[in-house]
Chains A and B, each alone.
Chain A
């Protein structure tokens, strides 16, 4: 049973480009959470999704950011028109149910905007 898989591990984008971050939850997990970690900071919740539904997006910036978790395939966090301030580590976590007693985290995608 593979863990939470995120790809790519590292992503470099120029300002104005789009960034797509993928997360495949653990087998049997239908709940996915995205977090952002700025340098020297803790993780900040962004969005919580179940299959085909956004449950809580209270931590998502209002513009340029979107997330989906389709019926088939990984969850995608999409950042349009990236800016330098988007440079961060983006972590995905999955759990089998909510409230999660144990959320398993992926290794993260480190986005650098140049």
Chain B
């Protein structure tokens, strides 16, 4: 079974731009969570989607948003990019909300 896939793997943007990251969960998995990983803050929870509905949200500004489609694929969007948004963005999927989360390889976002 294929793992979690994330596209693109690398992205370079400039301040003020917006970006959309994509995540395809493991086949059959219905829950998708997003995390931001930085050297200073570690792994921080962004949000979780299940059945196309946001179920949980972390402590991030409204510039960070996401959605989930009927096939469980998910996208996250960051608007008005700031230098501090440079990070590895990780997507994790699980069969159901209470099941083990499996991570994708991440999207490395660099904001210049």
Asked if A pairs with B, the answer is: no
- Chain A residues with CB under 8 Å of chain B are none
Write the residues of chain B forming the contact surface with A, with a CB cutoff of 8 angstroms: none
